[in-house]
Structure 1
Amino acid sequence: MTPISAGLRIAPAYTAVQPTPAVVSTAAKPLAPIASSTVSLGQSPREEDTSTYSSRGVITVPLRYALEHDSQTKLSTKLLVGVQSSAIGSRLHGLGAALLNELVANGGQSFTQSVFAFAEGSQPSAEALKLQGNNLRQHPANAVNLSLTTASGTSIALTLASNEQGLAVSAEVQGGQLTSDELNGLASLADSFQAAITGLSEEPPRLQLGKLATLDPALFSSLQMRTKLDTANGEPLSFDLKLDDSTRKLSLQGPAGNVQLNLDTRDSSLLGKSAQRQAAISNYLSQFDAAQSRGKGDKNLVSLLKDAFVQLNSADDIGRPSTGRIPLLAAKDTVLLSGLADFSASISQTSQQPNSLRPTEMDHFDYQVSQSTKASGASPANRSVQQDQQAQLTAAYHTSLYPQESLANALLSQNYRYHQISDQSSSSTRLSYDNNVLVQASATQQASQNERVRTYANGALQSDLSTPRSVSESRNLLGLLTDLFERERISLRDRGLSILEAQLQSQRSQWQLQSDPAQLRQQPAQQ
């Protein structure tokens, strides 16, 4: 039978035995903890603890586990299972969903819970466990925090904290009582919250935001998720997601580098129809892939940017009120636009020095891309809309001089090429109206690439070549759009059917962002 003491549950001893770690002097604590099943904690058991020897002669100690509050909920079970693992993904497995579901189950009342390992023979008190749980939540080695504000102003803060000693969670609700609709809304986020935690704790990390990126504005006005986790090699990975009525921001920083994405969501009238947005997303994803291929960037970092771009833009499938800037007053104003919210994004890969004989030859990958839109005019009938898209890539990498030779051997023998990439691209579109009559429609695309390659044989410079390419195209699209608008008018009059979007699909390559000069040369002639 499981013993109960002072409002806490002492779980039965775990069947695995643990190696006793080396003695490390630490400050006195109310509870002298010992690590979970596969984590070494710098502290020895007390003399009265029961010890045995393994087959290798190492002193081992059976472990027991104590909950801060006596409970048999699914959350407590997840804590007891998770604390027995060393990998952070296993420790947090199911905890995020269980925490949200327990908050919903208890009607939105605040609570805390924690679990700690202790050596057979020691007896923690309820007061000691509460103190240690609070300390872990305030000073975690690994942590996940989720904060939400409801449309009515109530704030919700969820915390998952972990270190070698144990696991702790908390749910805090302030500023009001959660309604049944808000509780149901929280319940619907549980699986997505857990998927986000699971994805970030994988190696390499993945981005799985789900419904966290598509909050219902009728229920929630803002969300922030902050995560700090140790990766498999012990280096930290930090993640920050923030959503409100004016912005969607995401940043991820880890051993491989940094990924940033910031969407300006103040003006929903910038947004096009679903097909237009999907075409723009597809084109941007192609540009990201092209940059990775040309600059030999980290595929996992680029995948994270692609996932972030798709998932944060998916929130625009939900109708949202327009606020802030001068609105684009007519739906047809968006025909030369991407149909997406304005944004800025970047990848900055951790630099490397693979060649010790030439330390200035750094391998790196830095990519930035952005979109900005301006609407102006003295009156709605006399308005102008301009959208600018631009991208920049700077990168450098080494390759072996001989295909059959590994790069490590090539650098050892100093038979290699050092590539330096410097690319820029942009696209600018403009529409202007005079007394509601379209008088200007234009697009300018530009792409320039330069690659410098230095070739070394047995350490001696053999060649230093630069290959620049640049193309710029300007198009007057007034005749094209005037014709398309007339076809649209006739179709709506005669058949009640809109054909504008279908006609635009085959034309968008004339104003979308394109980083490859060769692709610009292949653009279709103006129709």
Structure 2
Amino acid sequence: MNSIAAVRPFPIQVAPAATPQLSGTGQAASTVTQASTQVVLGQQLISMDSDIYSAKGTLQTMSSRYVWETPGVDKLSQYMTAAVQSGSTSARFQGLGAALMAQLAANGGATIAQSGLLVNDGAAPNQLILSLQQSGLREYASNSITFNLTTASGATVTLGLYSSEQGLAVDAQVQGGTLNAKELDGLAALASSFQSAINGLTQEPPSFQLGALVKLDPALFTGLQLDAQLVTSNGQPQTFELRLDDQTRSLKLQGPSGEVKMSFDTQGGELLGSQAMRQAALANYLNQFDAAQQRGHGDKQLMGLFKGAFSQLNSVDDNHTRLANSAMALNKNSRLLLSGLADFNASISQPTKQPNPLKPEEADGFSYQVSQSTRISTDPNLRVEQQQQATLRAAWHEGLNPGMDLQLTRDNESQNYRYHEVNDQSNSTTRLGWRKAVMTDASVSQQATQKERVRTYQKGIELSDVDNNTSSSKDRDLLGVLDTLLRQDREAQRIGVQSTLERQVADLSRLWLLQSTSALIEN
């Protein structure tokens, strides 16, 4: 920890109610949101005699001042001087991540450590105690965001933002090596996306704005980790984890409204299909997600997060380099009846609630899991099997009078409602096989089962208990269909006509992609 040294004062007159702005070059404005106060950068202490707000937005009227860890008048310190006085985490971190990353790149990767510690008494703080308190800003922060980036050369870039009622801290460093000019330029180019991700996570409700963070240049960067530990405005915890490398990627968000979780496995790109195939499969999955949310009365905003994460993490493969032999006809044809997406396992769930004090066993909830897994074997002949499956479990109470909010109490007069329970399952399995490089099997099995139980009560008396169940399954032999498409494609190539194979396959993909209802499994 750097000691605090006195330097020549650099006074900045503060305009009331000003908001810090960051230009495209990372230049921070020198205004601070503190009326009638003179802020001096480069000195040990910044006096705050007038009213200030804590990180929780509480008004502090006592005489306060900020002690800065590192003296100086650089852009980042000026930015932090303004940000530390903001009353919310989103306002404190607004623009700060981009400024930190940009300064690390501009400084050639030199270590950065800066903090503003709120001191309430008028005495000069003891240096040892001060150092411990500055360390505590990071170790015991109420809100923190950390970022780790692994370079192709093996170095690790680490950044951290930390906020609490006691102050604001940042740090950045490069470990295990140094950054070359291209890596520094690449790091600077990520600053905007890093800030967008921070903005999305700290807003309420949160959103995923991952941008270029999920589309790293593999020639420069091979792995990424982004973690957030936050506290919402009503005091509830919210955590976020993002992991990316050349083989797997995962994301997890836990917050007051529920949990979003997913992981992907590209198997080195061997499963990835054409852009048209991937777009068709992605659109089909997003439709399945919407249908699950509507059927199970799930949280629309949380499902929006789920869809956004699924789309953005799949976009990682948009420019994925295929395997060296992936252009061979055998490999190309083996992917035609697959989704074209990386294998994944994803889930979304909401906290369980018990709104009926007379029947606590009637719990409301929403849980949806969806996955894709692919097995490839070559002993003795090539075989590929891809399974897609989904499960929906949900329950909710619905008032008998749609014009009135349902308010259940221990009074039987309030017990007028329907209680819905849903348990749905669907799956689709594609099987492909070859013998001596000739395709001998191209079959698909689709199945969907929907179960709903509805119990109706009036003044606490059960009027009905009804099961609404549907089920459908379909087995298809698509070898003839695929053979026709491939024959037409060969003929198009022979006469010099543009191939329509990928578009035709995408149009027919409903026959082998996951379908959640009986009506969508075409006969």
Q: TM-score range by the shorter chain?
A: 0.7 to 0.9
- Tell whether the 8 Å contact from 2:55 to 2:88 is kept in structure 1 after alignment: no
1:209 alignment partner AA: L
Q: What secondary structure, in the 3-state scheme, does the structure 1 residue paired with 2:358 have?
A: coil
Structure 1 residue 242 displacement after superposition: 0.4
Counterpart CA distance in 2 for 1:34 and 1:248 is: 49
Deviations 1:160-196 (A, max 9, x none): 1111010011112111110011111111111111111
Structure 1 residue 369 displacement after superposition: 0.2
Counterpart CA distance in 2 for 1:423 and 1:256 is: 22
Match of 1:460 in 2: 461
Match of 2:197 in 1: 196
Match of 1:37 in 2: 52
Match of 1:104 in 2: 105
Match of 1:396 in 2: 395
Structure 1 residue 35 displacement after superposition: 12
Greater CA deviation, 263-272 or 131-140? Answer: 131-140
Q: Give the percent of matched residue pairs that are identical in Structure 1 and Structure 2.
A: 47
Counterpart CA distance in 2 for 1:411 and 1:346 is: 35
Match of 1:180 in 2: 181
> Is 1:482 matched with 2:483?
yes
Structure 1 residue 61 displacement after superposition: 2.6
Q: What secondary structure, in the 3-state scheme, does the structure 2 residue paired with 1:408 have?
A: coil
Check 1:483–1:329 CA distance in 2 against 1; reply closer, same or farther (3 A cut).
closer
Structure 1 residue 86 displacement after superposition: 2.0
Check 1:400–1:59 CA distance in 2 against 1; reply closer, same or farther (3 A cut).
closer
Counterpart CA distance in 1 for 2:48 and 2:157 is: 31
Deviations 1:95-126 (A, max 9, x none): 11011001001101112011123348444477
Counterpart CA distance in 1 for 2:60 and 2:333 is: 76
Q: How does 1:27-426 map to 2 (within 5 A)?
A: 37-39=52-54, 60-119=61-120, 121-124=122-125, 129-320=130-321, 322=323, 330-378=331-379, 382-408=381-407, 413-426=414-427
Deviations 1:420-477 (A, max 9, x none): 0000000011111111111111111100000001111001111111111000011111
Gaps of 5+ in 2: 15-32, 38-44
Deviations 1:355-400 (A, max 9, x none): 1111111110011000001111235xx3111110000000100000
Counterpart CA distance in 2 for 1:466 and 1:346 is: 26
Counterpart CA distance in 2 for 1:472 and 1:386 is: 18
Structure 1 residue 152 displacement after superposition: 0.8
Q: What secondary structure, in the 3-state scheme, does the structure 1 residue paired with 2:94 have?
A: coil
Counterpart CA distance in 2 for 1:72 and 1:228 is: 29
Counterpart CA distance in 1 for 2:440 and 2:399 is: 56
Greater CA deviation, 254-263 or 265-274? Answer: 265-274
- Tell whether the 8 Å contact from 1:145 to 1:158 is kept in structure 2 after alignment: yes
Greater CA deviation, 500-509 or 336-345? Answer: 500-509
Q: What secondary structure, in the 3-state scheme, does the structure 2 residue paired with 1:402 have?
A: coil
Structure 1 residue 297 displacement after superposition: 0.8
Structure 1 residue 211 displacement after superposition: 0.9
Counterpart CA distance in 1 for 2:67 and 2:408 is: 54
Structure 1 residue 15 displacement after superposition: 4.3
Counterpart CA distance in 2 for 1:156 and 1:145 is: 11
TM-score by length of 2: 0.87
- Tell whether the 8 Å contact from 2:430 to 2:444 is kept in structure 1 after alignment: yes
Counterpart CA distance in 1 for 2:345 and 2:145 is: 26
Q: Kindly report the root-mean-square deviation, in angstroms, between the aligned alpha carbons of the 2 structures.
A: 2.9
Q: How does 1:433-512 map to 2 (within 5 A)?
A: 433-495=434-496, 497-512=498-513
Q: What secondary structure, in the 3-state scheme, does the structure 2 residue paired with 1:407 have?
A: coil
* Count of aligned pairs between the two proteins: 489
Q: What secondary structure, in the 3-state scheme, does the structure 2 residue paired with 1:356 have?
A: coil
- Tell whether the 8 Å contact from 2:365 to 2:394 is kept in structure 1 after alignment: yes
1:416 alignment partner AA: Y
- Tell whether the 8 Å contact from 1:17 to 1:62 is kept in structure 2 after alignment: no
Structure 1 residue 305 displacement after superposition: 1.0
Deviations 1:3-44 (A, max 9, x none): x963597987974599xxxxxxxxxxx999999822289x9x
Greater CA deviation, 363-372 or 313-322? Answer: 313-322
Counterpart CA distance in 2 for 1:511 and 1:197 is: 39
> Is 1:6 matched with 2:6?
yes
- Tell whether the 8 Å contact from 2:52 to 2:60 is kept in structure 1 after alignment: no
1:236 alignment partner AA: P
Check 1:486–1:460 CA distance in 2 against 1; reply closer, same or farther (3 A cut).
same
- Tell whether the 8 Å contact from 2:48 to 2:63 is kept in structure 1 after alignment: no
1:183 alignment partner AA: L
Q: What secondary structure, in the 3-state scheme, does the structure 2 residue paired with 1:378 have?
A: coil
1:219 alignment partner AA: L
Check 1:32–1:349 CA distance in 2 against 1; reply closer, same or farther (3 A cut).
farther
- Tell whether the 8 Å contact from 1:17 to 1:60 is kept in structure 2 after alignment: no
Counterpart CA distance in 2 for 1:424 and 1:9 is: 69
Check 1:36–1:83 CA distance in 2 against 1; reply closer, same or farther (3 A cut).
farther
- Tell whether the 8 Å contact from 1:370 to 1:390 is kept in structure 2 after alignment: yes
Q: What secondary structure, in the 3-state scheme, does the structure 2 residue paired with 1:261 have?
A: strand
Gaps of 5+ in 1: 19-29, 44-57
Q: What secondary structure, in the 3-state scheme, does the structure 2 residue paired with 1:275 have?
A: helix
> Is 1:432 matched with 2:433?
yes
Q: What secondary structure, in the 3-state scheme, does the structure 2 residue paired with 1:317 have?
A: helix
Match of 1:25 in 2: none
